[in-house]
Copies of this chain bind each other. A is one copy, B any other.
Amino acid sequence: MASSNKGIQVPTPRFRPGDRPNFDHLDVPQAGGLPKPAVDADSQNLKEFAFGLVRVLNHNHCAIGDWDPHLSSGMLLDGLKSMVLTRAYDNRMMKMQRTKRLSFYMKCLGEEAVAIAGAAALRDDDMLFPSYRQQGALIHRGADLVDMMCHCISNSRDNLLGRQLPVHYARKDLNWFSISGNLGTQFPQAVGWGVASRAKGNDAIACSWIGDGTSATGDFHAACTMASTYNAPVILNIVNNQWAISTHESIAAGSAESFAAKAIGYGIPGIRVDGNDFLAVYAVTKWAAERARAGLGPTLIETFTYRGEAHSTSDDPSKYRAQDEWKLWPLGDPVERLKSHLIVNGDWSEAEHDDYEAQCTDEVTKAWKESVSYGTLEDGPHSPVETIFEDVFTEQPWHLRRQRQALGY
């Protein structure tokens, strides 16, 4: 890296508002270019995967190469449908936040494949430790939209009793951990969960996701270190969507060649995968899951993708990044790519897709109507007020009892 001799050097993104993005500098390898290693391959021999990019869908929307998971059309359609439904859900919730029906929202536009293909490649009893941008996996696991919405609007049916910010779902019934507002904390917890699974003689594994920005946290290092030491059955995903709020991924990456490369320092496989390629994400996750389940330890996956929308409803990306970045993103839109693949395969059509999109919009509208019938954040009803003193401890100690009474309950 060339450099001057004075002053603090800070990486800058190539494009800022007003610039015309051009991603020619991104080396996007051909689909099918990388071999698929055996599940029990030694991590020492897998280093190239940390610098490459596993891709299955080629420009003609065909699945090629070793990594093609050869999924049935049914499974592919399920994945596509989850992605389309997730997008419809996100759009609706965003709109509702804009009319102040919920306090906050976060979309996953452009990253739907990351979570949904990931979840699809796992067993239902595998435990997910998500960040706030994997709602697709929750939907794919069959969460009822009404339940999800009730949480987001903190109404009387919110299973979290209005305690959590919207989108911080917790669903034990779906093996979905409680999302934390503190970045990265779930990564080493997932390792602990996985270690306990083996301790108990189970073969369920844990899977967690953090963002590119979050890879800088101490908890990232904690997770990778512990996963390597205890050979934990866990899949650790870094979702590199290029941005952390307004901060470009280069601030977390520094001069690193990839986020997956960090795996090498822990002696675990690190695989970089096209995050907008449903089949590739599925295949890599499946490989890592089989490996973990067989007692062969953790895998670090970098899903290379792009955050299509604002970080959350609290920021306006046009203030810090060039307007068309997502449109010009060379890895495309995961929904369009899987859709085209299904159409090329003869398993789907534009018309069916349009119909399905309309159906999702309806479903989401219906769910919304039902949800607000159980209350909204603004007008209630919410959970009973005295619940704010519950679940702090198993039993309410005297000081909380006094405080509850002081509030009149």
At the interface, yes or no: A264 with Cβ under 8 Å from chain B?
Answer: yes
Residues of B contacting A1 in the complex (Cβ-Cβ under 8 angstroms): 42, 231, 296-297
Q: Is the CB of B261 within 8 A of A256?
A: no
Contact A229 B10 (CB under 8 A): yes
Q: What's the nearest-Cβ distance from chain B to residue A254, in Å? A: 3
Q: State A87–B255 Cα separation when bound (angstroms).
A: 40
Residue from the set A11, A203, A256 with the largest chain B CB neighbour count within 10 Å = A256
Q: Is the CB of A220 closer than 8 A to any CB of chain B?
A: yes
- The reply on A99 being an interface residue by CB < 8 A is no
Q: A253-B267, A265-B264, A266-B254 are in contact. Are A295 and B3 (CB under 8 A)?
A: yes
- Does residue A164 face the partner (Cβ distance < 8 Å to B)? no
Which of the 9-residue segments A53-61, A152-160, A193-201 touches chain B? A193-201
**A1→B216 CA distance, assembly (Å):** 28
Q: A230 near B: Cβ within 8 Å?
A: yes
Q: Which of B198, B222, B265, B296 contacts A256 (CB under 8 A)? A: B265
Docked complex Cα distance between A268 and B266 (Å): 16
Asked if A4 is an interface residue, CB under 8 A from chain B, the answer is yes
In the complex, what residues of B have CB within 8 A of residue A219's CB? Answer: 218
Contact call B267/A230, Cβ cutoff below 8 A? no
Closest residue of chain B to A195 (Cβ to Cβ) is: B8
Docked CA distance A286–B216 (Å) = 29
8 Å CB interface, A158-176 against B: none
16 contacts between A and B (CB under 8 A): A3-B231, A6-B198, A6-B201, A44-B257, A216-B225, A218-B221, A225-B252, A227-B254, A228-B256, A231-B254, A254-B267, A255-B267, A257-B267, A261-B265, A264-B264, A264-B265
